[in-house]
Amino acid sequence: MRRPKSKEFRKQQRLSEEDEINLLNSWIQAQKPDSGTNPMSLKPLPKNSPVGRLGDNTFSRYAGVVRFEQLPLSKKTKDALRASKFVSMTDIQRASLPHSLCGRDVLGAAKTGSGKTLAFIIPVLEKLYRERWDVEAGVGSIIISPTRELAAQIFDVLTSVGKNHGFSAGLLIGGRKEVAIEKESVNKLNVLICTPGRLLQHMDETPYFDCSEMKVLVLDEADRILDSGFKRELNAIISQLPKRRQTMLFSATQTKSVQDLARLSLKDPEYLSVHEESITATPTLLKQIVMTVPLDQKLDMLWSFIKTHLQSKTLVFLSSCKQVKYVFEAFKKLHPGIPLKCLHGRMKQEKRMAIYSEFCEKRSVLFSTDVAARGLDFNKAVDWVVQVDCPENVASYIHRVGRTARYKSDGKSVLFLLPSETQMLEKLKAAKVPVHLTKASNSFIKEEKAQD
């Protein structure tokens, strides 16, 4: 059994942390990037350049660096990043972290699968560490996600990267019966990761729930949270948060709406769209096919596709819960030769999380509504994304296909369009989405597998 640490040891530890915090604050202030600049445009420092204090009141530059170890981060965060095999930064991390670490508001836009979660988890941890936050201080940061699955995924990243810090964190998501248990502990949590509805429920119902000292607000998949579906909840939440705070918004498709930004009380935010100048709005290793399919042939086409790709992990998007349930039940009775799963918003939370975990691990076909379109990272690569129904808009299309070809993996997608929906093709091309229109199914469906 471990011996309890002596009072002297704890005092020494506090002193060393205090020294580190003072060093980090001096480093951040001395080398903070100019407002309005993108650190990606700076020439990276050589790999073996000295890091940190270089002399009296001089420090190494951290804007434009490419490795986490070159940033002004605490030893606790750096050790956890190293243990989690995070060494080099992605584009959105390189662009946003120098601004967010020095306390600025950030609007970060980057393609799906580009490392946005780490781009806001690190500044949250570092802000609370440098503020000497502890369990008694209460809520220091709130991270809002539009879906329960994405909130759970963010919580896992926070747990991994923040494991050396002493902060308490909680996952507050709807669909569970433990709201009474949550009410007992929510005031003792430092970082809340939540969906808008559940957070508002605690704000309205939990006695003494207090966010008045909160330091950092994060909206992940911000464009989804800012749209009309969450408008009432978000306005009610924002009205109860302190205006003096750091706010970060991240998404694959980002808002520049003055009205939205005013609602959030943003102060001169840094707008960092790292892929705005890209030739394509979607990952470069993603092959995208569009087919015109008459309504009465859609299910035949989908069935034939599944029979042709029994060795693939396939994510199939349909537009409603009823469609997902119908297609799942009908195809299950036909025994295609590959496990079938379904995911939609009317399922209980435990069931949704179990299906998400199973699909991450095993080759199968998952029929889903847009509940799986946002931010979710399926551990083992999704080979195909099939959109049986036309998405509502280009942003929805980009989020759906973003479930494959993540990071440096390749992937494929196919979109079925009705003859009356072909104007969607023009919208996709105008948004720099490189789709290939094909009239023949034999490019990805073997003729002998085509079935009625």
Q: Output the DSSP codes for 55-124.
A: ETTEE---TT--BGGGS---HHHHHHHHHTT--BPPHHHHHHHHHHHTT--EEEE--TTS-HHHHHHHHH
pLDDT at residue 76, as a whole number? 96
Is the same domain home to 413 and 315? yes
pLDDT at residue 247, as a whole number? 95
| Residue 278, domain member (yes or no) | no
Is the same domain home to 187 and 327? no
Q: Domain with 370 in it: what CATH number?
A: 3.40.50.300
Instruction: Choose the final residue of a domain: 273, 298, 326.
Output: 273
pLDDT at residue 113, as a whole number? 65
Segments of the chain scoring below 70 in pLDDT = 1-15, 111-113, 175-178, 228, 253-259, 261-262, 274-281, 283, 372-380, 406-408, 440-452
Is the same domain home to 118 and 189? yes
Is the same domain home to 80 and 159? yes
Q: Which domain holds residue 135?
A: 21-273
Q: Please state, in angstroms and rounded to a whole number, the distance separating the CA atoms of residues 22 and 74.
A: 11
Instruction: Choose the final residue of a domain: 273, 300, 318.
Output: 273
Nearest residue to 309 via CA among 434, 403, 439, 413: 413
| Residue 281, domain member (yes or no) | no
Is the same domain home to 224 and 106? yes
| Residue 403, domain member (yes or no) | yes
Instruction: Choose the final residue of a domain: 227, 252, 273.
Output: 273
pLDDT at residue 1, as a whole number? 37
Is the same domain home to 232 and 86? yes
Q: Number of structural domains, the chain? A: 2
pLDDT at residue 2, as a whole number? 43
| Residue 71, domain member (yes or no) | yes
Is the same domain home to 353 and 247? no
pLDDT at residue 451, as a whole number? 63
Dihedral sign (CA 243, 245, 249, 255)? positive
| Residue 4, domain member (yes or no) | no
Is the same domain home to 300 and 231? no
| Residue 80, domain member (yes or no) | yes
Is the same domain home to 265 and 388? no
Q: Which residue has the tokens 């003055």?
A: 258
Is the same domain home to 265 and 321? no
Q: With contact defined as beta carbons under 8 Å apart, do 209 and 186 qualify?
A: yes
Query: Quick one: 62 exposed, middle or buried, by C-beta within 10 A (0-12, 13-18, 19+)?
Result: buried
Is the same domain home to 324 and 198? no
| Residue 1, domain member (yes or no) | no
| Residue 381, domain member (yes or no) | yes
Is the same domain home to 62 and 203? yes
